[in-house]
Structure formats: structure tokens, C-alpha cells
Structure 1
Amino acid sequence: MKKLIISALILLSYQAEAQIKAVTDEGKEVVLFDNGTWKFANDSDAKALETITTNETPFTKDKTSTFLYRSKKVNAGVYVNPKIWKFTDAFKTPVLEYAFINNLNSNLFGIFTSETVEVGTLKNLKELLVTTTQSRADYFRLKESEYRTVNGLKVLYLRYLVNAKGLDFEYQTYAYLTDNGYCSITAYSFSKYFDQYKKELDQYINGLVEVKKAEGTQTVEVYETPPPPPAKIKSKN
């Protein structure tokens, strides 16, 4: 059972039917019962955390996303529009490979992360990502979680709200299992801008592709769309 924190700020606590309202570590409002059980006060919060739906719509890379950043750890990468998304090395963490700022709107951001750890399923990966994000945020709320097909790959899509140090952000992430780990590609902005610029944020995450990881010091390659086909071997006959 999740650890529950009783919030002194909740003024609507009551004794009717032996119920008390409380807030979890993740910012979810719950109802406590005298018998030690509890439930979410908002059914949609429970559903989002427990359910993964399936979106049958295929998602594809935008034709203007022609600049490929290959992962250095897993067989995946991301195509971006180089006129819109500018690479930055201002953010560094053990799992972060690439970070971007929208060149036309400095309130839009993108990141590409990866880890060479064994994760069984996309559902397991959801639990890992949600738990990690919750532990680092002052407030977390998962709004959507669904399976999607992106450029022929089965991925997990997450959309969630986070408050960190008094700032409200909204995120959307594609998480993809590779042969030796996983990667996630995330687009985010301040919450008040998210819906207004969702098209640009969608364009960024839809650049996720399966591609051979970069070898040695090679980190970036530029291709026209689509990527060039592999060289053909001439027959000796």
C-alpha cells in the first residue's frame, strides 16, 4: 500500500461513513476508511495509473524532421527538424543523451534518454518511469497512458503533469523497449503553453525510430528523408 500523508491543508475532512480525505506522496487525493483500506477520490486518477489503452492510429515522422540523432547506447534514435529544434548540452544526467530547445519558442523542450537495463514489458517500463518521476516531483498526475505504433514501433505513450520547485510542467513521452534496454523521448513545456503548442511537441516525439546505435565517437548523422537505402551487393553471376 502506498504511504499516505494527511494534509493539514485539506479542510473537507469529515467523519460521515467513517471516511477521512488525505493526499498521497504523488499528490493524489484519496479517501481513508476506519478499517485501514482506502480508495482514490478521483476515479480517473486510479484509471490512468492502472490502465493502458491502445491507440490504433499510426504515428509517423514529419517530413521536415531530417536530422538524425543516434543513441550511443541502444538501437534507437530521433529525427528532428534542425530549423526548429536546437541541441543543447545545458542538462546532464546519467541517462540523458540529448536535450533540445525549440528554436522558435524557448518555452518548449525535448529530451532523449536511454538505459541499458533489462525491462520485461512496456507495462513494467511504465511502472519504472512513473515511479522515478514521482520520486523527483513535488506533485505528479498521470493524465494518459496508451500503446501506440510510431514509425512501425510499438511504444508506450504517457502524458502527465508535474510541479517541481513551484513550476508547473506538462510532459508527453514515448517509451520504447530495445534489444538491450530502453529509450524514452519526451517533449514538455510549462503547463500553460502545452495545449497551445502540442502540434510542435507531437512533431518532436514522432521522430522516434529504430536505428543502429552510434559507434565510437559518432553521435550525429544527417540524412535526407527518407534515409538512404543500404548498399546493394552485386551478383557475381
Structure 2
Amino acid sequence: MKNFIIVLALFLLSTQHAQAQVKAVTEEGDEVILFKDGTWKYTSDKKTAEIKLDTLYTKKAADATFLLKSKKIPCGVWLNPKKWKFEKDANDTEPNEYSFTLNGEDVYAMFIPEKGQIPMDSWKAVAVENAKSVAPDIEVVSEGIRNVNGIDVYCMQLNGTIKGIKFTYFGYYYSSDKGSAQFIAYTFQSLFKQYKPEMEKLLNGFVQIDENL
């Protein structure tokens, strides 16, 4: 299991600036344009209706009572310390500032902050290119924009195989003029459906922090 965590930790990278809209594909295969205000519209001329995606607005769970702050960028993670244990890279030798494990379960997460700004519409290419270096069969299962605690993030699910291990990699990708972050949870493909609710609860704890506080 330790090797699984180490190999997946290779899935990182970053660089530069946020855009107002992003193209994505729905579960039905239609191409849409996603806007920062939580709305979207079809790119096809035949489908011009703009629809509010209220279901993409999320906030931290009620039992997320502990705020873990990043020392690199003005962001943090609210989590339930009774469910999730975390470790900080003591020597600053790893790209991830914090690593998380769901107590007693095969679910993990990484918080990877960067001081540079990454364009929102570049995250997909960055993540996929990184992943292919260790999992050539990587595929994007779903993608889109979510508003988490008032912050727009790019959300993506990737499936792939590393050294015979089939995994699912589910995360939020954030960028602002204060820096960027990848907040990613992962587990075995066979366990993703079971653990997705807990993974999303952790991810939904992502927040910006007022630097003056």
C-alpha cells in the first residue's frame, strides 16, 4: 500500500493565470461552456439555453471542525480530525505540503500548493500530461467547474493504471493571483464509488484564508 501512495504522489505539477470560462463535456457527450458564475451553455447552435447549475455549489461539511492552514498560500482545509489524519512534509522535500489518510481505510489525499498562478483552463492538460508519465492509459472520466465555499475550482476525475494497480484520482484545482493548489483524493477504482462521499467531504473543506487574520 505504501508503494501505491508513493507512485500516485508523482501526479503533480504547475505554472500561471485564471480564465472566465472553460469548455467541458457532459455525461451525454455534449460540449458545453462553463462560466465562473456557475452557469453553462451548449456550444451547439441548436442548444442555446443557459442553465444555472446550483448543484455545483458546495460548502464544508458540518463535522469539519479543524482548519489546517497552508504556509505557502492563503488557503486551507477544514476537516474532521476524527476521520482524517494528516502529515506535513517535515523537510519540505515533497511537492505536497500535506498528506491525508482516511482512518482505517484505503483512501488518501494530497494538498499541493504553488506560489505561481496556473490558468484554470490549463489544469486539464497539466494533470493529464503528468499522469501519462506514470499511467499511459490515463483517461478523464469527468470534469467541470465547482464553487466550493465561494471559490471557483476545476474538478476532475481521472482513471488509470500504475504498475498493474487500477486507481481513481479525484480532485479540485485552484488558481488565483495569490497562488495555485491541487487538492486531490485517490483510491482503488473498485473502491471509488464506496468512498466518493468521504472524498468529496474532505475536498469540500477547501477554503481561502484572509491574510490579515
Q: CA deviation at 1:67?
A: 1.2
Rounded Cα–Cα distance in structure 1 between residues aligned with 2:150 and 2:121:
19
Preserved CA contact (<8 Å) 1:75 1:179? no
Aligned to 2:5: none
Q: Among residues 190, 199, 212, which one is paired with 2:197 in the alignment?
A: 199
What is the one-letter code of the residue matched to 2:190? K
SS in 1 for 2:126: helix
Distance 1:153 1:77 in 2: 12
Structure 2: how far apart are the matches of 1:88 and 1:160? 24
Counterpart in the other structure of 1:97: 97
8 Å Cα contact 2:89/2:98 also seen in 1: no
What is the alpha-carbon distance in structure 2 between the residues aligned to residue 94 and residue 51 of structure 1?
A: 36
**RMSD of the TM alignment (CA)?**
2.9
In the alignment, the residues of structure 1 paired with residue 150 and residue 198 of structure 2 have an alpha-carbon distance, to the nearest angstrom, of: 21
Counterpart residue number, 2:68? 69
Tell me the distance in 1 between the aligned counterparts of 2:161 and 2:116.
Answer: 28
Matched residue pairs, number? 169
Aligned to 1:159: 157
Partner secondary structure for residue 194 of structure 2: coil
C-alpha displacement at 1:178, in angstroms? Answer: 2.5
Higher Cα Rg, which structure: 1
Deviation at 1:135, TM superposition (A): 2.0
Percent identity (aligned)? 32
Counterpart contact for 1:59–1:149, Cα < 8 Å: yes
**Structure 1, residues 26-54: CA drift from partner, whole Å, max 9, x if none?**
xxxxxxxxxxxxxxxxx999x69x87655
SS of the counterpart of 2:138? strand
Give the superposition deviation at 1:77: 1.0
Work out whether residues 146 and 158 of structure 1, in 8 Å CA contact, stay in contact via their aligned partners in 2.
yes
Post-superposition offset of 1:96:
0.4
Q: What does residue range 1-16 of structure 1 map to in structure 2 within 5 Å? A: none
Q: 1:44 to 1:150 in 2, by over 3 A?
A: closer
Tell whether the 8 Å contact from 2:144 to 2:154 is kept in structure 1 after alignment.
yes
Contact map agreement 1:51 1:145 (CA 8 A) in 2: no
Kindly indicate whether the alpha-carbon contact (under 8 Å) linking 2:26 and 2:32 is maintained by their aligned counterparts in 1. Answer: no
Question: What is the 5 A alignment of 1:177-216?
Answer: 177-212=175-210
Q: CA deviation at 1:197?
A: 1.5
Matches within 5 A, 1:41-120: 53=34, 55-57=53-55, 58-88=57-87, 94-105=94-105, 107-119=106-118
> Judging changes above 3 Å, is the alpha-carbon distance between structure 1 residues 140 and 93 closer, same or farther for their aligned structure 2 residues?
farther
CA–CA distance in 2 between the matches of 1:158 and 1:84?
24
Per-residue deviation, 1:93: 5.6
